[in-house]
Structure 1
Amino acid sequence: MKTVAIVLAAGSGSRMKTDVKKQYLDIGGKPLIFYSLKAFEESIIDDIVLVVSRGDVDYVKKEIVEKYGFDKVKAVVEGGLYRYHSVRLGLEAADVDCDYAFIHDGARPFIDNDIIMRALHAVKEFGACVVGMPAKDTIKIADDKGFAESTPNRDKVWMVQTPQVFSYKTILELYRRLDREEGELMAKGINITDDAMVCEYYSDQKIRLVEGSYNNIKITTPEDIAVAETILREQS
């Protein structure tokens, strides 16, 4: 069995309102992307493919991969315009003999070995899984005019995180199909927001929900940096 982690670090981080791309922001004395790479480096994962912004490949190889000794990083590749472009490019750069692909947002620094192992067990048993946590808050579905339309049963609502894990060959083929049919989806107004959605749209594969962690947050805004610093202090 061979596994690969596709770590996405190609976003612009516009909501962070800083000149430094959020994946390189300092958190606890290390760049944000360091933490998820470290988690995969020290796990059962065999290979890591790091997807970065255009023009950042050389910088990342020297200042991240080589500097911190991430030996499992087998490729650093440029991403695309949208997240789903970057995922496909990362998958294309992986070893064709991989069995399972873990697709992870590099802006989620608090992935840990327990999450990785739960996801691995689930994908082996069910064929596909996504990490997440049950919603703590009541969720409202809004109508087109911004009014509350319905209230789903909170017991059945999950906040989806990453990694999202699939058979490598299956998810690669689904992303290739998405690439071919991208224009049709855009014409229909379909916005692909995560990997599970690609699987749901193009296949009958059921996706197992796997417990992640409420600490497995995505760093998006300046306020998230403060939360991340607090989590790091608690973990140290």
Structure 2
Amino acid sequence: MRYEVVLPAAGSGKRMGAGQNKLFLKLLEKPILIHTLEVFEQDTNCTGIWLAVRPEERPLIEEMLTQYGITKVKGLPAGGEERQHSVHSCMKEMEQVDIVLVHDAARPFITHDIIANLVQSAHDHGAAIAGVRAKDTMKKVRDGIIEETVDRESLWMIQTPQAFRFKLIYEAEDVAEKVGFLGTDEAMLVERLGHAVHIVESSYENVKMTTKEDLVFGEAILRQRG
């Protein structure tokens, strides 16, 4: 089942402490951004990639796309101050498609099988997100003091991609923009419309490159995959 994907790529990467866009950092001699793009470049069901970028970084990214043979990028609109703004910036330039995925550009280890499950679930239900079950004991804390131990059986750690029917996510983004609401992810915007969001079980390998320690994990995953 066909889809297009939006990748917000205009972040600063402050938590990485790299002094540059963390997407340009390399895992086994290849930029994180390229590792992620190659997943969708190699997926025959992906018909287009949209990258929200900083205008000053656009020439470098265009050079990287050429260098690594990434051909599915349809547009590189300017990203906004927040992830939500970057996603909406891309969607405003897209032609209507059946299914849209939003994916963290710093999550290079998502697999085609999980993507296919998400696309199918979004087609069937309207909205679906990737996640994994919480493994650790979870506690609710206030002012440094534990208030309660939370039953982890009902808790999931949410990842991306998040998949939606085009009209649904466009409406959710548009409504949020009009009222000035800023969500933590796209699913939250859809939830505000009263629409159910389904979860698709993902992999613990689908980690986001956020800190320097994550780079170590990332290279280990790449080596294990060969």
1:144-184 deviation line (CA, Å, top 9, x unaligned)? x23222322211110000000111111112111111111xx
Equivalent pair of 1:139/1:152 in contact (CA under 8 Å): yes
Aligned to 2:124: 125
How many Å separate the matches in 1 of 2:63 and 2:50?
15
How many Å separate the matches in 2 of 1:178 and 1:71?
32
Of the structure 1 ranges 30-39 and 148-157, higher mean CA displacement relative to structure 2 is found in: 148-157
How many Å separate the matches in 1 of 2:118 and 2:16?
30
Equivalent pair of 2:126/2:168 in contact (CA under 8 Å): no
TM-score (norm 2): 0.95
Equivalent residue runs for 1:44-83 within 5 Å: 44-63=45-64, 65-83=65-83
Aligned to 1:188: none
TM-score (norm 1): 0.91
- For structure 1, the residue ranges without an aligned partner over 5 or more in a row are 186-190
How many Å separate the matches in 1 of 2:59 and 2:168?
31
Work out whether 1:141 is the aligned partner of 2:140: yes
Aligned to 1:89: 89
Equivalent pair of 1:79/1:85 in contact (CA under 8 Å): yes
How many Å separate the matches in 2 of 1:93 and 1:215?
32
1:170-216 deviation line (CA, Å, top 9, x unaligned)? 1112111111111xx4xxxxx51111111112x12111110111000
How many Å separate the matches in 1 of 2:30 and 2:158?
26
Aligned to 2:191: 200
- For structure 2, the residue ranges without an aligned partner over 5 or more in a row are none
Q: How many residues align?
A: 225
How many Å separate the matches in 2 of 1:126 and 1:148?
37
Q: Which residue type is aligned with residue 99 of structure 1?
A: D
Identical counterparts, % of pairs: 36
Q: Secondary structure at the match of 2:77?
A: strand
Work out whether 1:214 is the aligned partner of 2:208: no
Q: Which residue type is aligned with residue 192 of structure 1?
A: G
1:66-92 deviation line (CA, Å, top 9, x unaligned)? 111211111112100011111111211
Q: Secondary structure at the match of 2:74?
A: strand
